[in-house]
Amino acid sequence: MLPSETVQLLCLTASSGVPLFSRGSCKQLPFSVIGSLNGVHMFGAGQGALLSSCETERDSRVAWRVFQDSLMLIAVSGTAGASSELHLRRLLENAWNCMVLVLGQDELANVRNVERLKRELRSCYRLIDRLLERGGKDQGFMGDLTHCADCLLPSQPGILQETLDSFTRAADSEFGCLLVRGRLALATDKWWRLAPQEVVLLSALVNSLSGTTSCDYPVFLPQGSPTVAHRLLCFQLLPGVVACVLCGPSPSLQRAESELVGRFWSPVVEALRVCLEQAERSTLPPSVRLRWDVEALLIINRESRRAVAVCPHARGHTPSEVPPLSSPAHRWELLRAFYTFAVTRYFTSEEPVALPTSPPSATAERLHEEFSLGFTHLPVQCYLVTDDCKCYGLQTPQHQLFLLTDLSVPTFALRTVATHTLNAISTPTGF
């Protein structure tokens, strides 16, 4: 249906099937195909069946979802089979969240004037296109897939955390965070209590504004405040270091910038520079030493829904005959693929339940859950050996680790390497 490696996202009104927009992929699907895709879903609904996804003979995949009984989103992937069902389902949910973030739920749930809505939806294109292009995939951002915030662990968080807390309070807010090279380095307690998807989405919004010095964006929180907008204020302290607060009507952008930014952040500018330098090397503090045969890893804190992804630039202390590492982009891709493999087959409890606001899909998720409950046991570890690398997944009550190692690691030793790596990260950093 589409060229390989591409995904197209379609949006239609759920009741009448009027196309509202189509993003992604250079060549748009013909209207007849869009109509058929909508029709087949509608036919299913008429028969009391919910069509949520399908795969074509040529490895193309389609996923449907209706939000708020108002809008239907359809994702269609190209023929390479590169997009998993998980990816498409997350894409639909993320795209909807983007639309709520920019326009608010009222605008989307009660469509009064289709032409007006079409025009307004244009304001969501920047975020949606970033999602489709998977902006930042070469830097290993995985929040769109994991729904965990992409974090980095600064080596000396103390003083910066204090500064962030007092800066946030001074801006009449309790929600503040510090992003370094696009990743969350610090956040206030309240920020961590936002829904994980919201944390991911807000980071994505800030990262899409890389050039601006400061900004004031109205945002609706898809879960926390879908109908009342808050203001997201962002301040680029140094290129690559952004402080954000989520606040109400005051302070004005100008006042926050002229009165608060310098007062709170100037005294710690050196600490910020250190943090920035560290971020250029790794998402982990220098005190964490990884084994040389670790090619990439993703560690998730299951309670706080935070994730740290690591892809070493070079091997440390290598035996000389070892071939060099493959490109980071390739390893990030493998890590995403292994994550998808592990959470869809083994660590299924991590699969989030759908938004409570959309009954049809909630039914689907419940069915899926009942199916998983049919298993008498819950896998806690899994592994996979490929031509490129060996993969190991590990689940504890607190953490999940997805590890890619060099082929030279003996398969029987993978568990030890994984356990050792998990401890090497979690013990010194308290992650």
Partner 1 sequence: MPTVPPGSIFVTDWHRSPESREYFNKILYKKKRRKFGLLEAPVMPPNLKADTVRYKVFISGKSGVGKTALAARLTGLEIPNVHYETTGMETSVVFWPVKLRESGRVLFFHFQLWDCGENVMCRFDHMLPSCEEQADAILLLFSFTDHGSFEDISNQMPRLTDPSDRVVRLVVGTKFDLFMHTDVTESEITAFQEVWGVPVFRVGGDVSSGMGEIAPLLNALAENLWHQDCAHASNSLSPPS
- Map residues 301-330 to x or -, x wherever contact with partner 1 holds by CB under 8 A: ------------------------------
CA atoms of 328 and 326, how far apart (whole Å): 6
Looking at residue 78, its amino acid is G
394 part of the interface to partner 1, by CB under 8 A: no
Smallest distance, partner 1 to C-beta of residue 140, A: 22
215 part of the interface to partner 1, by CB under 8 A: yes
Q: Rule CB under 8 A: choose which of 67, 175, 191, 265 binds partner 1.
A: 265
213 part of the interface to partner 1, by CB under 8 A: yes
Smallest distance, partner 1 to C-beta of residue 239, A: 4
Q: Rule CB under 8 A: choose which of 3, 262, 316, 359 binds partner 1.
A: 262
Q: Rule CB under 8 A: choose which of 3, 39, 239, 359 binds partner 1.
A: 239
Q: Rule CB under 8 A: choose which of 207, 236, 395, 400 binds partner 1.
A: 236
126 part of the interface to partner 1, by CB under 8 A: yes
Which range in 170-178, 215-223, 332-340, 351-359 contacts partner 1 by CB under 8 A?
215-223
Q: How many residues bind partner 1 (CB under 8 A)?
A: 35
- Map residues 164-193 to x or -, x wherever contact with partner 1 holds by CB under 8 A: ------------------------------
423 part of the interface to partner 1, by CB under 8 A: no
Nearer CB in complex with partner 1: 89/181: 181
Nearer CB in complex with partner 1: 128/149: 128
Q: Rule CB under 8 A: choose which of 125, 192, 292, 346 binds partner 1.
A: 125
Residues that bind partner 1 (CB under 8 A): 102, 120, 122-123, 125-126, 129, 209, 211-218, 229, 232, 235-239, 241, 249, 252-254, 257, 261-262, 265-266, 269, 272
